[in-house]
Amino acid sequence: MPSATLLGQALISGVLAGGMYGLLAMGLSLSWGLLRLVNLSHFALAFLAAYIVYELGTTWHVAPWWSAALVVPAMFGIGAAQHWLFDRFRVNELASLLITFSVAVILEAGIQLYWTADFRRYETDYATLSIKAGPFFIPVLELALCLVAGVLAWGTWLWLRKTFVGKALRASVEDADIAAAYGVNHKQLAYLLSGIGAAYAGIAGTFIALIATLAPAEIWTWLGVVFAVVIIGRLGNPLGALLAGMAIGAAQSLAMAVFSPAWAPVVSFSMLIIVLLWDPEWL
């Protein structure tokens, strides 16, 4: 059995890593839960954003926050444009999975064409910075990621709960015709939500650029675990996505510390299966 300090550190690292799962899951959860579109290209968009932030930072020496100010609105536009395709071809839930898978493969190829298959690392002065709290180390970048994810999750949750637009979106998932009969222009709201989802991919991408090593095939790394997070956190619930992400991150990290690193994927999918057996209406 590892020491208490090691377990504590594993827990902290796990929760912080889970922040990334949650951040990536949020955009997916919104479009899956509220538009019934499963967007596999979300991960590819996040990596596209990461590569752009990397490129701007290494070649042009643009600070990542300025890059984000550019990339996030651009991603919003890409998300809305992508929704135009879905709308134009009346794409349903299953078809969206297949189409966005293709989009992801194409984006992956595009990234590989421009940036090659080499591993890329965006070195910054603060990449390895950490705060010491007692016996534990808290990496600053990951902490910042979690704070940003927390603000976004909370803000989005409030937006869906409290505003008329949020209520209209929730109503439309259940009965789009009746929502329309009361004046909800679902088409317009769907563009907005798709844009927001993709903008979240842009924010996640900015952090991926700073934290992770980039390679085109890496876009698939988080696919499995983030899907589990989306479902455990409940579709369309951004706060649930973040909490589920942190819970899975913590569980994975503890499993790796106590057993072996090979156990990490087993943990997330066992949790998924347990949740689904416990409450099948979750989806």
Partner 1 sequence: MLLEARNLHIGYGDAPAVWDVSLDVGVGEIVSVIGPNGAGKTTLINAIAGLLRCRQGDLRFDGRDMTRVKAHDYCGHGIALVPEGRRLFTKMSVEENLELGCYLAAARAARAQSLARVYDLFPILGQKRRQLAGELSGGQQQMVAIGRALMARPRIVLFDEPSLGLAPSIVDDMFDIIARVRDEGAAVLLVEQNVLKAIEIADRAYVLEQGRIVTCGLPADLLQQPHIREAYLGV
Taking the complex as a whole, the smallest distance from the CB of residue 240 to partner 1 amounts, in Å, to 14
Does residue 171 bind partner 1 (CB under 8 A)? yes
Angle between helix 164-174 and helix 186-211 axes, rounded to 10 deg: 100
Q: Binding segment for partner 1 among 21-29, 40-48, 170-178, 244-252 (CB under 8 A)?
A: 170-178
- When binding is defined by CB under 8 A, the residue of 44, 71, 72, 168 that contacts partner 1 is 168
Taking the complex as a whole, the smallest distance from the CB of residue 188 to partner 1 amounts, in Å, to 9
Does residue 175 bind partner 1 (CB under 8 A)? yes
Q: Binding segment for partner 1 among 24-32, 72-80, 108-116, 164-172 (CB under 8 A)?
A: 164-172
Closer residue to partner 1, CB minimum distance, 138 or 170: 170
Q: Hey, what are 246's tokens?
A: 């942190």
Q: Binding segment for partner 1 among 122-130, 162-170, 206-214, 250-258 (CB under 8 A)?
A: 162-170
Angle between helix 223-232 and helix 238-258 axes, rounded to 10 deg: 120
User: Is residue 133 classed as helix, strand or coil in its secondary structure?
Assistant: strand
Does residue 174 bind partner 1 (CB under 8 A)? yes
Burial class (CB in 10 A: 0-12, 13-18, 19+), 101: middle
Number of H helices, E strands in the chain: 11, 2
Interface mask toward partner 1 for 176-205; x: CB under 8 A: -xxxxxxxxxx-------------------
Q: Hey, what are 194's tokens?
A: 């798709």
* CA distance linking residue 136 with residue 156, whole number of Å: 31
* CA distance linking residue 257 with residue 238, whole number of Å: 29
Q: Which stretch of DSSP H or E encloses residue 227?
A: helix 223-232
Burial class (CB in 10 A: 0-12, 13-18, 19+), 60: exposed
Does residue 123 bind partner 1 (CB under 8 A)? no
Closer residue to partner 1, CB minimum distance, 123 or 174: 174
Q: Binding segment for partner 1 among 67-75, 115-123, 139-147, 169-177 (CB under 8 A)?
A: 169-177
Closer residue to partner 1, CB minimum distance, 36 or 170: 170
| In contact, 78 and 110? CB cutoff 8 Å | no
Positions touching partner 1 (CB under 8 A) are 164, 167-168, 170-171, 174-175, 177-186
